[in-house]
Structure 1
Amino acid sequence: MNKKLIALALAAALPAAAMADVTIYGQIRAGYEYNKTYGSTLALDSSGKPQGSSEINDWTSRIGFKGGEDLGNGLKAIWQVESRLNVDGTGADTFGTRDTFIGLAGDSWGQIRLGRLSNYPNMDMEQVDPGYYSGQSVGGLGMFTRMDTRVNNAVRYDSPNWYGFSYMALFGFDEARIAGLDGSRTNQQFVNIGLSYENAGYFGKYSYASWGDASNVVGSNKDWHRLEAGYNANNIYLAFGYQQVQGYGFGTFYNSALGTMANNVAVAGLVAGGSTAAAAQLAVNTTKLKTKELALTGGYTFGAFTPYLSYAKGYNATMGGTTINDSGYDQFVLGLDYALSKRTDVYTSYGHVKWKYPGTDNENSLGLGLIHRF
């Protein structure tokens, strides 16, 4: 009896569903990884260095629903709900964790959206990082793209394309307004502007981002510049990237493993000079930190195979205008994509990071997995 009732309910719902403009899409991506990294699942050894770990990891799987309605006169209502999936059984899969929005699109003026939205580098750049890997791995340029993310409480405008040129603007409201270091109410609003040119396989993209009240929030980003350029046509893949990030203290914009060590050294130096531990930490948190990095990726497709070679370099950071010696890194990634079909790939990669900072160890990752798009 229950089965009959369910069948009748589905039959009644199907005509309405058929009339709705809804597309279901997504990607299932996972693989085996051997990681000897600071982010891998095993704890650090007694000397504070990473241990090797065999892992089955999700490579950022997702499922989404999107649609729209033609409102007439070149105007359309658009919406999307996209969620993260963890096919390895770890992590919390909640609804709408990825780009989720409602908005309007016009034939001549572009589109505007409200919701949880990607910043420009996350959605429109990352050509220097074409691979698949987990957050525990260095089998891709995740350190270079570490700030590519989504912004809550955001509004984003995207222009139409004019002969290859386009631009966007995003504003993220700070609804928390936490108390700052001086006790006042802060406003960590986020502003992001992106510019793009694409024509005949050539592309050039620039992103500028800025956060408000940066010096009044512990470990806060201040501003961020990213440039990417290259060529992707005729089986050739070339991409170059450069970015510069400024903030206060060793915040989220800085590598976490190295940041903890560098922060402790900076605090210890001030304490040795006569400061209290609390005063020393406050001084570090309110001192400007600046990082510079570049990345280069090349690939070539022959048949179903596309090998990639990537290199990223982090230069020594500066804090308060003083160079932090040996705070940079060098990373190499060798990847190979084999297309089993238009929607299914086998992907493998090996990544190596060399840290120069005292007390750090090199990181290595090897991955092999499957990607299916639907």
Structure 2
Amino acid sequence: MNKKLIAVAIAAALAPVAAMADSGNVTIYGQMNVSVDSVESGYAAGAGQRTTQINDNSSRLGFKGTEALGNGLTAVWQIESSIVGDGAGRTAAFQGSSNGALNARNTFVGLTGGFGTAVLGRHDTPYKLATRSLDVFADNIADNRSIMGVSANGATTFDGRQSNVIAYISPSLSGFTGAVAYVAGAEGALTNGQTKGDAWSAMGTYANGPIFASLAYEKHNVGTAGTGTLGLAGITGKNEKAWKLGAGYNMGDFKVGLAYEKLSDNFAADSSDAYGHHAFYLSGAYTMGANVIKAAYTKAGSLNSITNSGVKQWSLGFDHNMSKRTTVYALYSKLTNEENSGYGLVGGSNGGTPIGNFNSDPSVFSLGMKHSF
């Protein structure tokens, strides 16, 4: 029953029907990814104290299908739910989670044809998808999203999944692919003069042989309604934006990846940049038969209005592929906050509250198993 998404991550996510253009079908697919984590919070009150947790790491269950409509058009749909593999709760807002709802993950309906693919629903933004393939620790606690894409001192994230999305993905032309998405403000009644806020996200990728490159841009326009938009309640009538550059090279058994991003906003009282900063990510992985050794380093500079608020994270890992669908893995990751920085280890894990505190150095040993079907 397993149906893998096509190789280019963005095209796979926005157009999973490219590999299944039957006149009508339903595919059931999913992933279970659960780990046992030994974590240390790394701040003074709990220095040296470790706790053992069983955590889910982006487990999912999905249904997708197509219907040939004639004249080169195909209807596409997908419903994808988060699965809480450890049976515990999860943080609802982080990384665009909907706390285990049936449509918590990418859920949409649309059309595909020679013009490309257009979808309506809930989806990862192009900005997020532009560099997902470069993260060698994607979907576990060492995922680079503990740092990359995080803005407003952790209040929201550019590397997210949004509701109320209309998205378009172009056909591939000599290795070039583009995507753009509009995120409408949340539904709800407004009083006279209020605005909901919205967002735009766009990216372009180039994939040819061993070379991968991407460029992405996203802007959040915060509404004046009391609930704000995109997780930015209390910051009304403002905007934030980010751009990101990614590159990867695959040298047979060895691959490397690099991403750089710059975030800015006008959230300060005088409309100056409050939380703007830059961040970069470097990764490498070496495959030896069924085994993979991998490492990554992520660093973010201080926020524009807060000195000594930077952070860095390094991770080492080992994967053993027991089959094409089953992998066991081990990793160690350590995050170091500066004195005015409060990032936490959470990445792609759905285990609960991020691990860490201001001026803390949280770390984790993780042993896990992932099975795709």
Which interval holds the TM-score relative to the shorter structure? 0.7 to 0.9
Is residue 306 of structure 1 aligned with residue 310 of structure 2?
Answer: no
Q: Secondary structure at the match of 2:129?
A: helix
The Cα shift of 1:113 comes to 0.2
Tell whether the 8 Å contact from 1:63 to 1:85 is kept in structure 2 after alignment: yes
Structure 2 CA distance, aligned partners of 1:309 and 1:360?
Answer: 24
Q: Relative contact order, CA 8 A, sep 6+: which one is greater? A: 2
The Cα shift of 1:122 comes to 3.1
Larger Rg: 1
The Cα shift of 1:213 comes to 4.0
Tell whether the 8 Å contact from 1:32 to 1:369 is kept in structure 2 after alignment: yes
Structure 2 CA distance, aligned partners of 1:236 and 1:120?
Answer: 27
Is residue 129 of structure 1 aligned with residue 127 of structure 2?
Answer: no
Amino acid at match of 2:325: R
Q: How does 1:221-300 map to 2 (within 5 A)?
A: 222-249=240-267, 283=269, 288-300=274-286
Flag as ranges the 4+ runs of structure 1 deviating above 6 A: 177-180
RMSD of aligned alpha carbons: 2.9
Deviations 1:60-86 (A, max 9, x none): 100110001111121100000000001
The Cα shift of 1:201 comes to 1.7
Structure 2 CA distance, aligned partners of 1:89 and 1:167?
Answer: 38
Equivalent of 1:195 in 200, 204, 223: 204
Q: How does 1:109-128 map to 2 (within 5 A)?
A: 109-128=115-134
Amino acid at match of 1:109: F
Equivalent of 1:341 in 313, 320, 323: 323
Residue 69 (structure 2) aligns with: 71
With over 3 angstroms needed to count, the CA separation of the structure-2 counterparts of 1:312 and 1:304, relative to structure 1, is same
Residue 82 (structure 1) aligns with: 80
Is residue 60 of structure 1 aligned with residue 51 of structure 2?
Answer: no
- Structure 2 runs not aligned, ≥5 long: 1-22, 90-98, 151-156, 229-233, 341-357
User: TM (normalized to structure 1)?
Assistant: 0.75
Structure 2 CA distance, aligned partners of 1:52 and 1:337?
Answer: 24
Is residue 101 of structure 1 aligned with residue 108 of structure 2?
Answer: yes
Residue 361 (structure 1) aligns with: 360
Amino acid at match of 2:250: N
Q: Secondary structure at the match of 1:348?
A: strand
Structure 1 CA distance, aligned partners of 2:272 and 2:364?
Answer: 35
Tell whether the 8 Å contact from 1:139 to 1:351 is kept in structure 2 after alignment: no
Structure 2 CA distance, aligned partners of 1:110 and 1:160?
Answer: 5
The Cα shift of 1:247 comes to 2.9
Amino acid at match of 2:30: G
Is residue 167 of structure 1 aligned with residue 152 of structure 2?
Answer: no
Q: Secondary structure at the match of 2:128?
A: helix
The Cα shift of 1:236 comes to 1.8
The Cα shift of 1:244 comes to 1.1
The Cα shift of 1:361 comes to 1.6
- Structure 1 runs not aligned, ≥5 long: 1-18, 39-43, 250-281
User: TM (normalized to structure 2)?
Assistant: 0.75
With over 3 angstroms needed to count, the CA separation of the structure-2 counterparts of 1:124 and 1:325, relative to structure 1, is closer
The Cα shift of 1:161 comes to 0.1
Is residue 32 of structure 1 aligned with residue 40 of structure 2?
Answer: no
Residue 20 (structure 2) aligns with: none
Tell whether the 8 Å contact from 2:144 to 2:281 is kept in structure 1 after alignment: no
Amino acid at match of 1:195: G
Q: Secondary structure at the match of 2:146?
A: coil
The Cα shift of 1:214 comes to 7.0
The Cα shift of 1:178 comes to 8.5
The Cα shift of 1:212 comes to 1.6
Amino acid at match of 2:31: Q
Greater helix content? 1
Tell whether the 8 Å contact from 1:140 to 1:333 is kept in structure 2 after alignment: no
Identity value in percent: 29
Structure 1 CA distance, aligned partners of 2:49 and 2:183?
Answer: 39
Structure 2 CA distance, aligned partners of 1:309 and 1:171?
Answer: 34
With over 3 angstroms needed to count, the CA separation of the structure-2 counterparts of 1:373 and 1:334, relative to structure 1, is same
Structure 2 CA distance, aligned partners of 1:300 and 1:339?
Answer: 13
Aligned residue pairs: how many? Answer: 310
Q: How does 1:122-161 map to 2 (within 5 A)?
A: 122-131=128-137, 134=140, 137-138=141-142, 141-146=145-150, 147=157, 148-161=159-172
